[in-house]
Amino acid sequence: MAAVVKSFIAKNSNRVGFGKATWERPYSSAMNSSLPQKILVLGGSGFVGHHVCALLSQQGCQVTVPTRRLPARSVQMLPGVSVVKANIHNAVALRQLMQGHDAVVNLVAILHGSAAEFEAVHVRLPSLIAQACEQAGVKRLVHISALGAEVDAPSLYQRSKARGEHILREAAQRDGLALTLLRPSVIFGADDAFINLFARLQKIFPIMPLAGATAKFQPVWVGDVVQAIAYALAHRQTAGQVYEACGSEVFKLQELVQLAGRFVGHERRILPLPTAAAYLQALMMELAPGPTLMSRDNLASMEVDNIASGQCAGLDNLGVAKPKHLGDVFPAQRGA
C-alpha cells in the first residue's frame, strides 16, 4: 500500500494546486527602501524559498540562491535573482557565498531523516552559517525554525531544530549577529506539499486511514510567512526576537484532510488509526521505495499540538494583521 501511494504521488505531483508566486498585499515604499539590498537565501529554490525570492525580486533586491543542482527553475528567471551551484554544507563554499551580502535568510530544513541527517541540516548547518557570517562580516540573519522546537520535544526533528536555534543564539551574543527566529506551524499554499498531498490521495483512494488524526495544527499561509520574513529583514528591531508564525485557525489533522478532499470534490471517509497501527503505517512508509510521506518521527512530533504557545510574539508583530484563512486558498468545490 505504501509503495502504491508513493508511486501515485510521483506520477501526479503537478495535478493539483502548484500556483505561481503572487502577492496580494504590496509593500510600502518605506519598507522597500529599508530592505537589505543584497540577500543570500539558503533554501531559496524550495516551496517557501521561491516565494521569498519572488517577493524580494519584486522589491528590487539582489538575491543569491545556492543550489546543488542546476537548473533551479522556480527562481532562475526572476529579475535580480542569481542562482549559483554550490554545496552550502562546505564551510569554505559557504563563506565565499556570504561575501558581499547584507543579510542571510536560512530556510533549509528536512522533515524526514535519520538522527545524523537531522544533525547535519538542523544543527551543523546553522553552526556553519554562524561561522561564515562572522568570517564574511554579515551581521543580519533571519532563520526559519519550527513550532515546537524544544530540547525536550518528543521528535528528533523538533529537538534538532531547538539545538540549531541555541547555536545561533550563542553566535548572536558572541559575534553581534542580528538574529531573528521564526517558528511557523505547517505552511500551506497553492503549491504546497501538505494540503495538495491529501487532496491527491482522496482523488484515488475510497477511504483515508489516518495516523495522528486528532493532532492539532495552526496552518499559516506561505504569503504571510514570506511577508513576515521581509518585514523582519526591513526592521532591525526584530533582531533578538522569536516569533511564532501561525494562522488564525486551529484544525485537527482529520479536519485538514477533510478540507483537502472538499477542495478537489472528493472528500473521503477518514479512518483514524490507533497508535500501534499508526506507527506501523509510518514504518511501512519509511521502508517503501521513493520519497517518505510519513515517518515515525513525524508521529512523535504530533504528540505535541502544533499551535502557538502564546509565549512569543506573533505575525501581528511582523506586519501581518490578518492572516489568510485556509479556505481562501483552498475553497471547497460546489456540491462537495
The C-alpha torsion from 320 through 186 and 163 to 66, rounded to 10°, is: -80
Give the C-alpha distances (Å, rounded to integers) separating 145 from 16, 87, 106, 186: 27, 21, 9, 12
Give the mean model confidence (pLDDT) for residues 258-278. Answer: 91
Q: Read off the pLDDT band of 335 (50, 70, 90).
A: very low
CA distance 251 to 256: 6
The β-bridge partners of 272 are 210
- Torsions phi, psi for 81 (to 5 deg): -105, 125
Q: Is the pLDDT of residue 164 over 80?
A: yes
Are the C-beta atoms of 67 and 85 separated by less than 8 Å? yes
Give the mean model confidence (pLDDT) for residues 9-36. Answer: 52
Write down the residue that cell numbers 543564539 correspond to. Answer: 169
Question: Among 14-28, 181-195, 208-222, 266-280, where is mean pLDDT lowest?
Answer: 14-28
CA distance 132 to 88: 10
Buried-exposed string 228-246: b where 16+ CB fall within 10 A, e elsewhere: bbbbbbbbeebbeebbbbb
Q: Read off the pLDDT band of 32 (50, 70, 90).
A: low
Residue 73 grid coordinates: 527553475
Q: Is the pLDDT of residue 287 over 90?
A: no
CA distance 151 to 75: 35
Q: Read off the pLDDT band of 288 (50, 70, 90).
A: confident
Give the mean model confidence (pLDDT) for residues 139-152. Answer: 97
What is the DSSP annotation of 176-215? --EEEEEEE--EE-TT-SSHHHHHHHHTT-SEEEETTTT-
Write down all domains in the chain, each with its CATH number in brackets.
28-192+219-249+309-329 (3.40.50.720)
Q: Read off the pLDDT band of 13 (50, 70, 90).
A: very low
pLDDT reported for residue 18: 35
Residue 119 grid coordinates: 544533525
CA distance 103 to 138: 6
pLDDT reported for residue 265: 87
Amino acid sitting at position 226: V
pTM of the model: 0.90
Question: Among 60-74, 111-125, 150-164, where is mean pLDDT lowest?
Answer: 60-74
Write down the residue that cell numbers 561561522 correspond to. Answer: 131
Backbone φ/ψ region at 250: left (φ over 0), alpha (ψ -120 to 50), beta: beta
Question: Could you read off the pLDDT of 64-115 as tens digits, one per residue?
Answer: 999 998 888 889 899 999 999 999 999 999 999 999 999 999 999 999 999 9
Give the C-alpha distances (Å, rounded to integers) separating 315 from 83, 149, 242: 30, 18, 11
Helices (H), the chain: 2-11, 29-34, 47-58, 91-98, 115-118, 125-136, 156-175, 195-202, 222-234, 253-263, 275-287, 296-301, 326-329
Q: Read off the pLDDT band of 333 (50, 70, 90).
A: low
pLDDT reported for residue 299: 95
